[in-house]
Amino acid sequence: MCGILGYLGDGETLSILFNGLKRLEYRGYDSAGIAVLNKQDVFLIKDKGTISEICKPELFSQINGHLGIAHTRWATHGEPNKDNAHPHFDCKKEIFLVHNGIIENYNTLKRFLENKNHKFISETDSEVLVHLIEHFYNDNLEVAVSKALALVEGTFGLIVIHKKNKEMVIAKRGSPLIIGVGEGDIFVSSDAAALIEYTKKVIYLEDNDIAVIQEGNYSIKNLSGQDVIREIHEIKWDLNQIEKKGFKHFMLKEIFEQPESLSNVLRGRIKNDKIKLTIDLNPSSLSRIIITACGTSWHSALIGKYLIEKIVGIPVEVDYASEFRYRDSIINKNDLVIVLSQSGETADTLAALRKSKSRGAQTLGIVNVVGSTISREVDSGIYLHAGPEIGVASTKAFTSQVVTLLLISLFIKQNQGYKLDNILLNEILSLPEKVKIILDKQDDIKKIAEIFKSKNNFLYLGRGINFPVALEGALKLKEISYIHAEGYPAAEMKHGPIALIDKEMPVVFLATNGTVFEKILSNIEEVRARGGKIITVTDREDESIKRLSDYVLYVPKTIEEISPIINSIPLQLLAYHIADLKGLNVDRPRNLAKSVTVE
């Protein structure tokens, strides 16, 4: 879950690495570091904190090297401090390495190396790698890296340099790594966001690829030593899309981009009252659908279960990918496994995909990042086209995922020979405008945030298709405001959570029109009787709701299948404004990283 970066070219290396690392800080920001080959020596700077705190711009003119590596860290082994920060180096301080991933057998390797008199400075698993490369080094860095990685169990995306050679050796297994091809310059990164300012031409490495980067060129092999060819892809988004555009935070910008992101996910996919998806599915052979994901994507999957079972009538199971991959799952060739991941690199989701493929299931991926590992490995895939999502707490990707699962439901129904409901199709197409109406009410939501920002606990309650929205609303608040929040099915409140309700407990109800509206009113009555502070999200001008609620957030009227998308917007804004009013770093909540590429 770290961000890594390498550069070889005639540009201002330190400045390029500094700027690129700032764009990677959403992947990790506990500590950072840069190493630049400066003539025959290596300039190294690293410490706890962000790259802006560690490396000051006045250094740029003092360092003239044209080869360097950089790292921004999210700690897995060892606390954030200077010794544990990357780049790591060997005993002679000649080999330098940045690494993303986890070396599972690092303790065994470390004992082996200590017996060979290697001295370790840090508590990290990554430092073991650089000493293992040193152990095998004999004037050929590529060979040393290959031999070292042959002994490694675990995942890695890594860049290695030696002070005597103007080259980078890079390798990948289980962690994303791309090569950016510029005009005479070569870049390496875990994420295209770091490269987009300099080039749009990228190569996505496959697992067990190893590449040597030299001036103006590169060569790629697999770890068995065979030459391989990887296609050059062109990034379709630009630098402007990852700038804040006047918003205080990326998260707020991305919340307000949802009319556009929803338009993008729908563009060309509803035409002449039909769903147009370029996926290879045979509904007649499907006996079951399994959706697997992590975090916010798992909440999207739960909504997908409601939609598919209601619209299509095929049984759907939803699994956390982290559990699915290790459970003795029963999967067969008549199952469709749908994997959801904004980044397309989520380690557990990728492992769940590979397990499903090994059991013969059909696989379908829903991802946002073009060229990501999941997008390349699924049998069929759908891109969200939501644009880059930099804020750690997912917003626009979540709503785009839900729309995509709705489109898949209708696509399967259509392929079963049924005519689609025009009312539903029109409601889907009206989503961007309805979301904009909610965004225009931001000030009303901010006023409620001001009232509740000092609370220590929240409860979010929904029923049916809006129960997962309650989970997602609670997660958003936890992620960025550090307020304890729980999402529950409203009917389950009586089975425990009702004991928590008193005059200090804010309770957010999702009470939009649908099959369980009257049931939700009863649940609101129960909370009201116990003194809870009630915030209700509704699309109904209902006197009972006005009477029972302390605060009401009105959303545009829609049908039940669309309501999770509509209802999630005010909850995103509520979480954002509470966190912002508390003075917290909304885009970089503590202990979290955007893309979870390690277990």
Q: Catalytic residue numbers?
A: 2, 594
Structure tokens at 82: 């200077």
Q: Which two tokens stand for residue 479?
A: 């992620």
> Which parts of 237-288 fold into alpha helices (H)?
250-256, 258-266
Cβ-contact 467, 512 below 8 angstroms: no
Q: Give the residues across from 154 on adjacent strands.
A: 103
Residue 338's nearest CA partner among 316, 370, 322 is 316
Is residue 248 within 8 Å of residue 43, measured between CB atoms? Answer: no
| Bridge-based pairing state of the strands 209-214 and 3-8 | unpaired
- 439 CB-near residues (< 8 Å, 6+ apart): 255, 256, 258, 259, 569, 573
Going by DSSP bridges, is the β-strand pair 551-554/533-538 parallel, antiparallel, or unpaired? parallel
Classify 527 as helix, strand or coil.
helix
Helix 431-439 to helix 563-581 angle, to the nearest 10 degrees? 30
Whole-angstrom distance, CA of residue 184 vs CA of residue 224: 29
Token reading at 517: 């509206």
**Residues 402, 261: contact at Cβ < 8 Å?**
no
Nearest Cα neighbor of 588 from 53, 37, 93, 10 is 53
- Is the previous residue joined to 489 through a cis bond, with omega within 30 degrees of 0? no
Centre a 10 Å sphere on the Cβ of residue 219 and count the other Cβ atoms it contains: 12
Residues pairing with 141 in the sheet? none
User: Residues for the chain: how many in total?
Assistant: 599
Nearest to 309 by CA among 561, 98, 109, 494: 561
Q: 49, exposed or middle or buried, with CB in 10 Å at 0-12, 13-18, 19+?
A: middle
What's the DSSP call for residue 268?
T
Residue 180, beta-bridge partner list: 187, 202
Side by side, which strands form the sheet with 288-293?
316-320, 288-293, 335-341, 362-367, 380-383
Contact residues for 263 (Cβ-Cβ < 8 A; gap 6+): 432
